[in-house]
A and B are shown apart, each in its own frame.
Chain A
């Protein structure tokens, strides 16, 4: 053994508690095949193994062996791969409801921009009587998702008649249409996923019934049949859970679509008022008889045990009340629905703050986004 490192050092090396440079230096030394140090290190590893052995024994799920076998034989997996906790952090129904809301919101925006564009064209045409205007391609008219006579969104801004503004509005229309198409495609994906999941679950039910029949008839080896039965039951449970989750997602979509299509609502954009909000934006829709819907995008990941909380600000005494905690997904999307039962009378503004996990009774975190109703 070198004079530099003793048994105690190799203990620490095996524990992994040393700083990175020392750990690397000792690793390099082991590669020189120094016999004494290698022996000392191996003895230290025994201490670590013994520490591992002090952990109370736990049994993994019985399907793991089957799953391993399936994965190494490249066969179709007996067991649906376990969904990672990290991936499941983005609740599908949150994402889907957000997609539905986004699609509808973009539809409303599209209609507003189209109105502006029509006004601009009319002004340009009037001006062209005296001076020929630059040719502008005619954008396709986007279908409105909200009846025009019932919309109470912000009125169009006064039009400035010049060709560059018409070009900018045309580009904006194209961009909004593309975004809306993407959101609708994602929404359709949820519907397809649901159909596929139901089909997969039905097929599993058939396989399970067949496996049970084989066991009853004594047609197969009992041990392997029982293993197969157990794996199929597990897959069926997971398929049922997926179907339930996607059905909830579909129900939320229907609720969101119903919200925006069933009558007038007030709309407000929430904008970042704190550097901590990054590029986050949000839009909220409120109708006293249907409640409040809010959709946020690009919310920064919150460090530590924190969450996003929505607050309503009311005219009477400017009271501030908690609306609830935003449901968020891994891509920075946020969503919240407050039913009409929640008292939101004389609502004048909304704010999103960061609060400790579980939320606060009164707003104490950073005010990140804010928007006032007109």
Chain B
């Protein structure tokens, strides 16, 4: 398993090659992080074809605007997650306005052993998953709606029928618990 230092070094080398305009470097980044990023996009947009378009856009953005990524501010995967999530939420909002959004249930890939090949620490992923599952369902639901559906406090209050104060307080509490779990882990392999 790679630790944060290994990942940072690997990211730096890959970005150096991208700066030198080596096309294969982008493919190497894609091979390393593509599946993770795709899974997030698909979770948000629920449509493989659209998710693959957004996936390509995300990696092309890294190629075209590599100077926007600052290794001092976080891991490359973090940056890719952020760009991908923004792209996916943007797509989702537009589709929602057009009335084309169909929610479908997405099953996980049965090849769970893939997790072990991933740069993300299995320990971290499972710890957060467990922590998320352990949250009171109202907190978990609100955090998932905010993260995967891109809803703001006010939109969450409107959708759930809870007061704005309740929504804010539940999200704050839930996120604090997740942050504490991460803080308690000796190794966080995202960085």
Q: Which residues of A contact B (CB under 8 A)?
A: 7-8, 11-12, 15-19, 38, 42-61, 64-65, 67-69, 71-73, 82-86, 89, 301-306, 357
**Apart from the given pairs A49-B120, A58-B106, 16 other A-B contacts in the complex at a CB distance below 8 Å:** A11-B176, A12-B153, A16-B146, A17-B151, A49-B190, A50-B128, A50-B178, A51-B132, A52-B40, A55-B39, A56-B39, A60-B51, A72-B26, A85-B47, A86-B94, A89-B100
Partner among A43, A52, A59 whose Cβ is within 8 Å of the Cβ of B179: A43
Interface residues in B96-119 (C-beta closer than 8 Å to A): 98-100, 106-109, 111-112, 114-115, 118
* Distance between Cα atoms of A69 and B59 in the complex (Å): 10
User: Would A61 and B52 count as touching, CB distance under 8 A?
Assistant: yes
A contacts with B: majority SS: helix
Decide: A60 and B34 in contact? CB cutoff 8 A.
yes
A304–B98 alpha-carbon span in the complex (Å):
7
B178 lies within 8 A of A47 (CB): yes
In the complex where A46-B191, A50-B178 touch, is A59 in contact with B49 (Cβ < 8 A)? no
List 7 interface pairs A-B (beta carbons < 8 Å), by A numbering: A15-B143, A45-B82, A47-B182, A49-B190, A50-B125, A52-B85, A301-B98
Q: Mark B66-105, 1 if CB is under 8 A from A, else 0.
A: 0000000111011001100100000000110011100000
Most buried by B among A42, A68, A83: A68
Q: Are B175 and A57 in contact (CB under 8 A)?
A: no
Contacts A58-B106, A64-B55, A302-B99 hold; do A49 and B81 have CB atoms under 8 A apart? yes
Q: How far is the CB of A269 from chain B (nearest CB, A)?
A: 28
> Interface residues of B, CB < 8 Å — how many?
74
Is there contact, CB below 8 Å, between B143 and A7? Answer: no
Residues in A with CB closer than 8 Å to B100 are 85-86, 89
What 0/1 pattern do residues 28 to 70 of B give for CB contact below 8 A with A? 0011001110111011000111111101100110010000000
How far is the CB of A113 from the nearest CB of chain B, in Å? 38
Residues of A within 8 Å of B190, CB to CB, are 46, 49-50, 53
- In whole angstroms, how far apart are the Cα atoms of A89 and B36 in the complex? 29
4 smallest A-B Cβ distances: which pairs? A56-B108, A50-B128, A11-B175, A60-B38
A133 to B48, CA, bound (A): 69
The one of B30, B94, B118 in contact with A68, judged by C-beta atoms closer than 8 angstroms, is B30
Which chain A residue has the least Cβ–Cβ distance from B113?
A: A57
> Contacts A8-B172, A73-B23; is A57 near B34 (CB within 8 Å)?
no
Q: Which residues on B sit within 8 Å (CB–CB) of A301?
A: 98
Min Cβ gap B172→A in Å is 5
